[in-house]
Structure 1
Amino acid sequence: MAEPAVSVSYGLPRRGLPAPASVRRWVAAALTGRRARAEVSVRFVDSPEGRALNRAYRGKDYATNVLSFPVELPPGVRSPLLGDIVVCAPVVAMEALAQGKPLAHHHAHLVVHGCLHLLGMDHQNEAEAEAMEARERRILARLGIPDPYAGR
């Protein structure tokens, strides 16, 4: 299976943010066994950009930790494109601090979470949430990252 093609961009200074190599490793872990070929874009943004995107696409006027934008292809068109993930760095940093988690672990979790959304998983009801969280736990464990939901 080929490694996914992952584009990483930063809409704010990179200091303290994950390196592209880490992001690529997290995306690859999330997609292992799920897609033979995949193209994903991951962008780290500040709070104003995160808020604007959340307002424009979800109708919610606040910055959120991660947004996923699955590609919408016309019927019958096949492509390795999966979509885009947007991570709001200040929100992730606040959450990691509040939850007592290493920042890198929280970034990894949210990139994996975003990838699973691109693959069609969701958490709109309890059964979906449990399935998605179980998959996140397995992927993160393979990366050496503890259960992000422990102690909830």
Structure 2
Amino acid sequence: MSELTVDFQNAFDGPGVPAESLLQTWAQAAWLEQDPSEVTIRIVGLDESQALNQQYRGKDKPTNVLSFPFEAPAGITVPLAGDLVICAPVVEDEATEQLKELSTHWAHMVVHGMLHLQGYDHIDDEDAEAMEALEIRLLAQFGFGNPYAAEETVKDS
């Protein structure tokens, strides 16, 4: 694990956003690359999340986390991982719906987004299993349980 610089932007005017130091800690733990890099974590409200999700994914609704990996032009090397855009109201609603502690769900969203910036994905089952196993291991470092086990419990009830 190498050093990661986290730039923090809070464009959300409301409660429930973890301290910048926590976001940095979670992002750093999920940075698995050898080279130092930089990421921007931007906290947004529903409108900005929905606009970005529509523009980049064709989905006209807000979402929990969007990952924008930095793609340097040919011949240019810049130590930028990319940007994470996290929608505070969606994260809070999901935590409530899934009966999770808010800070636990925030940590999961940061770890999940950071893995996406490093090329991990969950489009097919095999990739999803690998990514989820890594998320579970990284979150366990902070004493957080399996975020997917809680989801299954809620679905079964």
Q: Secondary structure of the equivalent of 2:86?
A: strand
Q: Deviations over 1:55-112 (max 9, x none)?
A: 0111110001100000011233222100000001111111000111000110110010
Distance of 1:105 and 1:35 partners within structure 2: 26
Task: Find the counterpart in structure 2 of residue 22 from structure 1.
Answer: 22
Question: SS where residue 30 of structure 2 aligns?
Answer: helix
Residue 96 of structure 2 corresponds to which residue in structure 1? 97
Q: Which amino acid aligns with 2:96?
A: L
Unaligned runs of 5+ in 1: none
Q: Which letter maps to 2:34?
A: R
Write out the 4+ residue segments of structure 1 that deviate beyond 3 Å after TM superposition: none
The total of aligned residue pairs comes to 151
Q: Report the TM-score, using the length of structure 1 for normalisation.
A: 0.94
- For structure 2, list consecutive stretches of 5 or more residues without a partner in the other structure: 153-157
The residue that corresponds to 1:117 in the other structure is 116
Deviates more, 1:77-86 or 1:19-28: 77-86
Looking at structure 1, the residues matched to 75 and 135 of structure 2 have their Cα atoms a distance apart, in angstroms, of 30
1:141 equivalent in alignment to 2:140: yes
Matched residues, percent identical?
Answer: 49
CA distance in 1, matches of 2:123, 2:44: 25
- Distance (whole Å) between structure 2 residues aligned to residue 101 and residue 56 of structure 1: 30
Shift of the 2–125 alpha-carbon distance from structure 1 to 2, 3 Å rule, reads closer
